[in-house]
Amino acid sequence: MLRNKAAAAAALLAAASLSQAAQAQDTVKIGIIQSLTGQLTAVGKQVMGGVNLYVQQHGNTVAGKKIELIVKDDTTVPDVAKRLAQELIVNDKVNLLTTGITPASFAIAPLATQAKTPSVIMVSGTSSATERSPYMVRTSFTLGQQSGIIGEWAVKNGSKKVVIIQSDWAPGAEATQVFTEAFKKAGGEIIETVKVPLANPDFSPFLQRARDANPDTLFVFVPAGQAGLFAKQFSARGLDKAGIKLIGPGDITDDDDLPRMDDAILGTVTAGNYSALHDSPTNKAYVEAFKKLNGMRPNFISLGGYDGMHVIYEALKKTGGNTDGDALVNAMKGLKWESPRGPISIDPDTRDIVQNIYIRKVERRNGELYNVEFATFPNVKDPIKAAKKGS
């Protein structure tokens, strides 16, 4: 009797999974895990703005398959991201995942490997995120890509003594590491590196300490969404009036926060992968459509979502709708296209993004603050991986 019951239950399960498999044949399920609440909500909003715009523009059918997005909020907590990924893989049987910030991407990587689920990293800027699983492909950026370039630029443009203020987590550590190496190699001196907690930061005491150290330049990394508060406290402490130059990766003048900053931020020079003012027809159309759909200016984070969906759609076209994990990741390798940020590609060796890095200066254009690009470093790879390869 018991044995019969068990056999019946097993048969039911098999039937259920068979019908799921039949359904899955016409539907591609994409589990989207992003930080929609918690510390980095601003990041989640931008990346979803990009995802939703891409789907609005390109429809929800690719290679004859219906695209189904299952959107989940990791609440900016890596353990939650991990649990959600598990549920999406086991219960929802998703064909692909997309991940957000670094701690969440790290938490999801082992599951992506186990289940052979292609996972597009839409936010994380930490070099090693793509190395945590052979199924991870990045469409965002790395902090190293930007920080080495601004380090060299700063020395060439008169910076000699720098204080670093760094948000204390993995991407911040990499910004500091790559900037420090490049800046010292070019002949500059780092006076001090000050680390600010990621959660609920108050930059004021750190800014005061930085000011007391009397540098000619401040190199700063804070994540998108914290740049507004940072700029306010920078201005309130009068660092601009003390004649201290502010430089950093693009995060500190991100297009989402920038419109609400004051004139103290004018003249800030950053190395970034995207400006809403980037001069191309593709970008003009992107900014207009993004604002219309999402009611805000797109920032560099939004492109990880928009281009991340492009990678998924193009890979599905290449495989003819085949959702095998290895086939999809292989199809993603080497993709090359024109993004609103400029020409970009997926490095076939590292599955990491290759993109232009622009040097930009904050100026007013038509009454609004923008990052105005004035120099371009084409096709920049993640320097931390490049150094490992060379060694």
Q: Which residues form the interface with ligand PHB (CB under 6 A)?
A: 43, 101-102, 123-126, 171, 223-224, 251
What is the nearest approach in angstroms of ligand PHB to the Cβ of residue 123? 5
Q: What is the CA radius of gyration of the chain?
A: 22
Q: How many CB atoms lie within 10 A of CB 389?
A: 10
> What is the C-alpha to C-alpha distance for residues 93 and 273, in angstroms, rounded to an integer?
34
Which residue's CB is nearer to ligand PHB, number 159 or number 166? Answer: 166
Which residue's CB is nearer to ligand PHB, number 74 or number 373? Answer: 74
Of the CA atoms within 13 Å of residue 82, those in its CB half-sphere come to 11
- Quick one: DSSP state of residue 94? -
Q: How many CB atoms lie within 10 A of CB 266?
A: 13
Which residue's CB is nearer to ligand PHB, number 41 or number 193? Answer: 41
What is the nearest approach in angstroms of ligand PHB to the Cβ of residue 234? 17
Which residue's CB is nearer to ligand PHB, number 67 or number 122? Answer: 122
Which residue's CB is nearer to ligand PHB, number 151 or number 325? Answer: 151
What is the nearest approach in angstroms of ligand PHB to the Cβ of residue 105? 7
What is the nearest approach in angstroms of ligand PHB to the Cβ of residue 255? 12
- Quick one: DSSP state of residue 350? T
Could you please report the per-residue DSSP string of 11-52?
A: HHHHHHHHHHHHHHHHEEEEEEEE--SSTTHHHHHHHHHHHH
What is the nearest approach in angstroms of ligand PHB to the Cβ of residue 166? 12
The answer to whether the CB of 137 falls within 8 A of the CB of 120 is yes
Residues constituting the chain: 391
What is the nearest approach in angstroms of ligand PHB to the Cβ of residue 353? 13
> What is the C-alpha to C-alpha distance for residues 135 and 116, in angstroms, rounded to an integer?
6
Q: What angle do CA 66, 339, 219 make, to 5 degrees?
A: 125
The answer to whether the CB of 158 falls within 8 A of the CB of 210 is no
Which residue's CB is nearer to ligand PHB, number 182 or number 224? Answer: 224
Which residue's CB is nearer to ligand PHB, number 102 or number 139? Answer: 102
Which residue's CB is nearer to ligand PHB, number 257 or number 347? Answer: 257
The closest alpha carbon to 180, from 125, 129, 219, 222, belongs to 219
What is the nearest approach in angstroms of ligand PHB to the Cβ of residue 131? 14
Handedness of CA 78, 83, 84, 89 (dihedral sign): positive
Which residue's CB is nearer to ligand PHB, number 67 or number 123? Answer: 123
* Residues near 294 by beta carbon (within 8 Å), at least 6 away in sequence: 45, 49, 52, 53
What is the nearest approach in angstroms of ligand PHB to the Cβ of residue 324? 29
What is the nearest approach in angstroms of ligand PHB to the Cβ of residue 1? 55
What is the nearest approach in angstroms of ligand PHB to the Cβ of residue 101? 3
Would you state the torsion angle of the CA atoms of residues 41, 43, 47, 48, taken in this order, to the nearest 10 degrees? 10
Which single residue brings its beta carbon nearest to ligand PHB?
A: 101
Q: How far is CA 43 from the centre of its chain?
A: 9
What is the nearest approach in angstroms of ligand PHB to the Cβ of residue 142? 9
The closest alpha carbon to 295, from 103, 37, 48, 121, belongs to 48
Distances (CA, A) of 281 to 155, 172, 218, 277, 338: 34, 33, 34, 11, 11
Which residue's CB is nearer to ligand PHB, number 95 or number 142? Answer: 142
> What is the C-alpha to C-alpha distance for residues 73 and 359, in angstroms, rounded to an integer?
34
Which residue's CB is nearer to ligand PHB, number 166 or number 323? Answer: 166
